[in-house]
Amino acid sequence: MEEGKETKKSGREGEDGRDRLSELHDDVLLHIILFINTNTAVRISLLSKRWNNLWKCLTNLCFRRRSFKNITNYNKFVSHVFSHRDTSIPLHCLDFEACGIIAHQLLDTVTPYLQCVTQLRIYLDQESRDMFYYSIPFIFSSPSLTSLTLSILCPRNILNLPQSLHLPALKTLNLTNVSFSARPNDVCAEPFSNCFSLNSLVLVGCSLSDHTKVLSISNSNLSRFTMKRYDEQQYKIVLSTPNLTHFAIRSYIGCHDLSSLSDLTLLEDVNIEISTIFHATVLRLLRMLSYVKILTLSKAVIEAILRVSYSSVFSS
């Protein structure tokens, strides 16, 4: 080698040629790979023998379908990770998609590892056009869950939830394309009353079963509630949420028949974006929102309010 030329060193090596990155403690290395998806974490195990089994100790797992060429490879990878991880280390956070015709089988693979999970995000995607119902009751009776996101990616397929969710530690709940049902001989669904710690609730494209007519959002701890509506099913929503501070409704079809059993005196911020709304619904909304501090309304809602005011003036 010519004099004056320096030997190229790997980015992982120090001036003395040592691989300082691999010399770090396992806890530090695990903390580093915690910020990447699981697919990448497993791949970097090929860097050296020192990294070979680190991914098996991960407490957070994140799987993304887009990282694989096809669904078959993705499903095999998820099954491989769960069958080879260190089961003596509890799993705390799981974020994954269950795709294709074997989506339910993949859920069965994951189920035994969920006892200690505190944060769970599941996105279900089934290619069949037929209506079907998933049955995953283990999610809805967990004493450890603090955050749950459950999304059915195809609106044609509906997840029928249990009549009551028994999740005492749950603080954040996001549900997309699910169905609620009342108990036998009743028409009112009340799924959230046993979620005693629930602070934030988001419902997107949710519906009611055939015999159910009313959805009761009954929870004394709930502070934030957002509802987005995409289907044409009409049903009543009754709020029993005395500590509600933030409330949002977004719909391009119309507004549900909405009422409240509480005065909602703590309301700070309300956002209502509705394309069509009836006079009676406007009047109820105005009564409900009398204490709100910041109010954002869509053009259609403002026009409906003006029509109500105009009618009141000329009828008096």
pLDDT values of the chain reduced to their tens digit, one per residue, 316 residues: 444 444 444 445 555 556 666 666 677 777 777 777 788 888 877 776 777 778 888 899 998 888 888 888 888 898 889 988 888 889 999 998 887 666 677 777 787 888 889 999 988 876 544 444 454 666 788 889 999 999 988 766 677 888 999 999 999 999 999 899 998 889 999 999 999 999 999 999 898 988 899 999 999 999 999 999 877 677 889 999 999 999 999 887 667 788 899 899 999 999 988 877 666 677 778 788 889 999 998 888 888 788 766 665 555 5
Please state, in angstroms and as integers, the Cα–Cα distance from residue 196 to each residue in 48, 190, 221, 316, following that order: 47, 13, 7, 47
Q: What is the DSSP letter of 192?
A: T
Query: Quick check: helix, strand or coil at residue 246?
Result: strand
Q: Do 39 and 103 fall into the same domain?
A: no
Residue 243 lies in a domain: no
Which residues lie closer than 8 Å to 58 by C-beta, 6 or more apart?
Answer: 30, 33, 34, 38, 41, 85
Helix axes 299-315, 279-288, angle to 10 degrees: 100
Q: Rounded to 10 degrees, what is the CA torsion of 199, 200, 201, 202?
A: 180
Domain finish residue from 135, 157, 179: 157
Both 68 and 141 in one domain: the answer is: yes
How high is the pLDDT of residue 264?
93
Residue 70 lies in a domain: yes
Expressed as residue numbers, the domain containing 69 is 61-157
pLDDT of residue 172: 98
Q: What is the pTM of this model?
A: 0.83
- 87 is a domain residue: yes
72 and 122 in a single domain? The answer is yes
